[in-house]
A = this chain, B = another copy of it.
Amino acid sequence: MAGIPSHINPKSKRSKRSKATPDIGQLFDQLKAGEISALSQAITLVESTAPKDHAFAKAILQRCLPLSGSSFRLGITGVPGVGKSTFIESLGKLLIGQGKKLAVLAIDPSSGISQGSILGDKTRMEELVKSDQAFIRPSPAGKTLGGVARKTREAIILCEAAGYDFIIVETVGVGQSETAVHSMTDFFLLLKLAGAGDDLQGIKRGIMEMADGIVINKADGNNQTAAKHAQREFRNALHLVPPKNQDWQTKVYTCSALEQNGIQEILDEINNYESKMRAQYSFSAKRQDQELYWLHQTIEDQLMNHFFTKTAVSEALASLEKEVLDKKITPFEAAEKLLAIGTS
């Protein structure tokens, strides 16, 4: 991690924080004033699994919450190698040039305890890393997507309170992480590569119907014809899935993040989306739906997790599943038996 500024190195923050009990009032003031070290420390508190940090995390969130909500939140997904970091660097430079303060967060549940597998390669975001208008934070660690998603969502609140008005949340799309990012952002962008005849291979089920925009990246050099072809294929495909929003038709763009070509057009599209949605109040309606989604999703996750980690349930589960597969009882009866065991 040599040469990486401390504000994108959670380890250095963590060791610093552990030396003292945080003064939440002071931390909040510093965060609100836009101090990167305070924001970083607050996110570390939110990410912490140490019970002693929970009250601090809650307190700082409580103060930041009323200041949150004013940014534009952009979700970006794409497989490794699609050029997400270069794209974010390229888009980020434009945003900063327009006077925006940009925060880049990530969700990568696969990173597990080895924090920072995503966004780890900062060499592709050199200019953003150097800019004091950009804040870059690796994916939080966590064993479950729910936990990781919660931490990222709370980090959004903290970033917004610190004055960041454009938030990018990126994911490599492991498990259901795309759904999580989709449910915490205003605009969901799918990055794709043109390939040799297999432009649409490997696309995840349902992902096209989630996208508000699709970008064929690396449309440069010898790759331009293939990129245009992929663009046509995707356009045709989009006519065949129902629009996710009756007021918005998902468009397909090509760009070269490397050559900084076509990025402005994508940003214009995103701005266009924001204006249109804000004008008809569906922008805030979508955000409200997302808030309630997380409320209900958290309850569901917790209830299921609480139930299935009970010793009696986990002991009975395997044999009841076997009885079901052996046609000794119906799945409904097995469920009833397990429920009786788990709720007694």
The complex places the Cα of A3 from the Cα of B142 at a distance, in Å, of: 64
The complex places the Cα of A288 from the Cα of B322 at a distance, in Å, of: 10
Kindly identify which residue among B209, B298, B332 contacts A335, using a CB–CB cutoff of 8 Å: B298
Residues of A47-84 whose CB lies within 8 A of B: 58, 61-62, 65-66, 68-69
Residues of A249-307 whose CB lies within 8 A of B: 288, 291-296, 298-300, 302-304, 306-307
Question: A4 within 8 Å of B by Cβ?
Answer: no
Q: Decide if B292 touches A303 in the complex (CB within 8 Å).
A: no
* Complex contacts, A62 vs chain B, CB 8 Å: 329
Question: A1 within 8 Å of B by Cβ?
Answer: no
* Complex contacts, A244 vs chain B, CB 8 Å: 205
Chain B nearest Cβ from A228, distance in angstroms: 17
Kindly identify which residue among B201, B239, B330, B336 contacts A61, using a CB–CB cutoff of 8 Å: B330
* Complex contacts, A237 vs chain B, CB 8 Å: 237, 240-241
Q: With contacts A68-B327, A304-B303, A335-B295 known, is A205 near B200, CB below 8 A?
A: no
Q: Decide if B240 touches A343 in the complex (CB within 8 Å).
A: no
Q: Decide if A299 touches B335 in the complex (CB within 8 Å).
A: yes
Q: Decide if B300 touches A324 in the complex (CB within 8 Å).
A: no
Q: Decide if A304 touches B295 in the complex (CB within 8 Å).
A: no
Question: A29 within 8 Å of B by Cβ?
Answer: no
* Dominant secondary structure of chain A at its interface with chain B: helix
* Complex contacts, A332 vs chain B, CB 8 Å: 150, 153-154, 294-295, 298
How many monomers of this protein are in the complex?
A: 2
The complex places the Cα of A335 from the Cα of B306 at a distance, in Å, of: 14
The complex places the Cα of A201 from the Cα of B242 at a distance, in Å, of: 7
Question: A220 within 8 Å of B by Cβ?
Answer: no
* Complex contacts, A335 vs chain B, CB 8 Å: 294-296, 298-299, 302
Residues of A305-344 whose CB lies within 8 A of B: 306-307, 320-321, 324-325, 327-336, 338-339, 343
The complex places the Cα of A233 from the Cα of B239 at a distance, in Å, of: 10
Q: Decide if B242 touches A324 in the complex (CB within 8 Å).
A: no
Question: A204 within 8 Å of B by Cβ?
Answer: yes
Of all chain B residues, the one with the shortest Cβ separation from A288 is B325
The complex places the Cα of A242 from the Cα of B332 at a distance, in Å, of: 32
Q: With contacts A303-B339, A327-B66 known, is A200 near B295, CB below 8 A?
A: no
Residues of A116-172 whose CB lies within 8 A of B: 150, 153-154, 157
Of all chain B residues, the one with the shortest Cβ separation from A239 is B200
Q: Which residues of A are interface residues toward B (Cβ below 8 A)?
A: 58, 61-62, 65-66, 68-69, 150, 153-154, 157, 200-206, 208-209, 233-234, 236-237, 239-242, 244, 288, 291-296, 298-300, 302-304, 306-307, 320-321, 324-325, 327-336, 338-339, 343
**13 extra interchain contacts, Cβ-Cβ under 8 A, other than A153-B330, A205-B242, A303-B307?**
A61-B330, A69-B327, A201-B242, A202-B242, A203-B240, A203-B242, A206-B209, A234-B240, A236-B236, A237-B241, A292-B331, A298-B332, A298-B335
Instruction: Give me the 5 closest cross-chain CB pairs, A-B, nearest first.
Output: A298-B335, A237-B240, A294-B331, A295-B331, A303-B303
